Structure 1
């Protein structure tokens, strides 16, 4: 049972590490894209996206237009509010890794407690 516990911990830590790495990369990419203005041009293209013919019978055109306008306004607001978004990468990405470390430590401590509990139960 103890071996299963540590195998499960290793699997959880591997998944958590992959998630943290992807999150750090995504945050870095997103903030650099916002700083370079690439997001606002992509949002404008998305705002002009027509509803596919096969989807139009099931979707209200006014709802889609409102969603597109809201998306475009939110991204434009974000690009004006965050002109120096790339500088945020300097502290947000390390913050992601600090969070990874805290959660990893909590998982290891929980596994140690479970290991101790299993040892006490088997006596």
Structure 2
């Protein structure tokens, strides 16, 4: 049973890391697109920025159009705070990795707790066989 716990932890940790990496890449891509544009043209720069090559394989073109229209609406709605975004943008990718670290600590604590619980329950079983 302990092998199953640590195998599940390994899979979840890998998925968590992959998700954090993808999010950090998307944040950096968005920040570069915003920083490359002038404040008034930020929406157009983000919408016309080419997709990272690794992302183009995974996104359907129809889905991309929906995503871009939603992004355009969001940027136009947040036009007033656009100067502040440039100041905060440098902190977004590190914040993603801080969140990743907190998530990994949580996953590790859950795995250690499950390992301890299985070990404890295995010792107190009447048959005396540990799993």
TM-score normalised by length of structure 2: 0.63
Distance 1:80 1:122 in 2: 60
Please list, as runs of the form range in 1=range in 2, the aligned pairs for 1:75-114 lying within 5 A after superposition: 75-83=75-83, 85-114=85-114
Alpha carbons of 1:79 and 1:29: their partners in 2 closer, same or farther (altered >3 Å)? farther
Question: Is 1:40 paired with 2:43?
Answer: yes
| Deviations 1:31-81, CA, capped at 9 Å, x for gaps | 221233365226888xxxxxxxxxxxxxxxxxxxxxx6x865542343452
Alpha carbons of 1:79 and 1:33: their partners in 2 closer, same or farther (altered >3 Å)? farther
Aligned residues: 100
Distance 2:47 2:91 in 1: 29
Task: Note if contact 2:28-2:93 (Cα within 8 Å) is conserved in structure 1.
Answer: yes
Counterpart position of 2:7: 7
Structure 1 portions without partners, runs of 5+:
46-67
Distance 1:19 1:113 in 2: 24
- Which structure's relative contact order is higher, taking Cα pairs within 8 Å and 6+ residues apart? 1
Structure 2 portions without partners, runs of 5+:
49-68, 124-131
Distance 1:26 1:35 in 2: 14
TM-score normalised by length of structure 1: 0.67
Alpha carbons of 1:100 and 1:44: their partners in 2 closer, same or farther (altered >3 Å)? closer
Superposition RMSD on alpha carbons, in Å?
A: 2.6
